[in-house]
Structure 1
Amino acid sequence: MSYSKFTLTSVEKNFQLQETMQNLFPTVKPLEMSEWLQQTLEKGSYLALKSEKARSEMIIAPILLEMINDRAISIFSGENLDIDPENGLNGECDFIISKVQQAYTIQAPILAIVKQNIVENNMGQCAAQMVAAGLFNQSENQPLETIFGCVTNGEIWQFLKLENQTIFIDNKKYFLDNLEQILGVLQAIIDFYK
């Protein structure tokens, strides 16, 4: 089993998690995008972004790069996080955000991002990666009470939070046409760990 095999129900059952929906970021402040990001996304909009890979490279990655504004995080793309293969917590992660500055290897992951065409169908994969990130942090003697997650196809962004054996699913979805809100949420997650 690997991350992609999990459903939300199977993650909850296998790891004794509860699930609830709530507004995770009720006071988020929109964050203005840089001219660089605006130009990059405009250039990408002229391309046919039909595949997950294309959307990942032309939409998601530039948005994440925008968040390195104060160099407080590291971004890992396509890295394996093999923390507990016997329980299916292994495989490649689309993106992992670490709270460690300019790290070469994954350290202190705080946000797992899953890129998928159908956002709702991949909450389980994201939740499994969040569980794995928490276990990874414990094994590295850097336990964190809260791990965030996100499932996105580039156009729609759905955020999650894992805390105290509960998966909180944001009852609000964020859309690319309101990118300042997405950037605000990402900044709120980074600021949560400062």
Structure 2
Amino acid sequence: MTYRDFNLKTVTQKFGLTISDRINMFSAVPELEPSSLLVEILKENVVIALGSNTDKSRSSMITAPILIELRKLLNHQIGLFYGIDFTVDAEKGLIGNCDFLISRSSSLLMLTEPVIAIVEAQNEDVNASLGPCVAEMLAVRIFNEGEGNPNATINYGAVTNGQTWRFLRLKEQVIEIDLTEYYLTDVNKILGILASAIQQAI
């Protein structure tokens, strides 16, 4: 079993989680203004990515530039990891590659202090990718505890197909899922939520 094999039902049952559906969970989070460079990159890239219409094209041409912009806006004080193996607990099925992991450490050579797991929705199905995202968020918690940070009880996740974003928050045994969907036209809000998640994770 790997992260991709989980759905919301199996991951909540296996790990004893409770789901809390919420609307506008991040409504109070301020927006973050993107650079003119990101605006121009997305203007060019989105057309190509949607024309190709593959998970790979959306991931590399839409999601990655947004996350690189986030790192720049935060003065390069975070780490960004793309497609790395994140095997944490094989017996529990917490194995496999993560699409994106964001860490509070600026190190790019070694993953430390991951706080956000971002899952690329397969076949553009955002809801079907919520389960794998929760599994990766649990793995982030276990990883941090193993690294001597037992107080890291809150972490965040996002599922995106490039165009649409959904955000999650794990607090102890409750997984909060924001039912609000954010679109590329809301890129300021997407950047703001990601930045806030990094600051709020403990």
Q: TM-score range, shorter-chain basis?
A: over 0.9
Structure 1 distance, partners of 2:148, 2:112, is 11
Gaps in structure 2 of 5+ consecutive residues? none
Structure 1 residue 36: deviation in Å? 1.1
Gaps in structure 1 of 5+ consecutive residues? none
**Equivalent position of 2:186 in the other structure:** 178
Q: CA RMSD in A?
A: 1.3
Moved more, 181-190 or 156-165: 181-190
**Equivalent position of 1:27 in the other structure:** 28
Give the counterpart of 1:125 among 117, 132, 149: 132
**Equivalent position of 1:112 in the other structure:** 117
3-state SS of the aligned residue for 1:149? Answer: strand
- Is the CA contact (8 Å cut-off) linking 1:44 and 1:58 kept in structure 2? yes
Moved more, 24-33 or 125-134: 24-33
Moved more, 23-32 or 75-84: 23-32
TM-score normalised to structure 1 length: 0.96
TM-score normalised to structure 2 length: 0.92
Q: Deviations over 1:141-192 (max 9, x none)?
A: 0231101000000111000011111100012111112211111111111222
**Equivalent position of 1:39 in the other structure:** 40
The sequence identity of aligned pairs, in percent, is 37
3-state SS of the aligned residue for 1:121? Answer: helix
3-state SS of the aligned residue for 1:93? Answer: coil
Number of residue equivalences: 194
- Is the CA contact (8 Å cut-off) linking 1:83 and 1:132 kept in structure 2? yes
Q: Deviations over 1:111-135 (max 9, x none)?
A: 0000011000111000000000100
**Equivalent position of 2:153 in the other structure:** 145
**Equivalent position of 1:71 in the other structure:** 76
Residue 143 of structure 2 corresponds to residue 136 of structure 1: yes
Q: Deviations over 1:59-83 (max 9, x none)?
A: 0000000111212210000011111
Structure 1 residue 193: deviation in Å? 4.2
Structure 1 residue 25: deviation in Å? 1.0
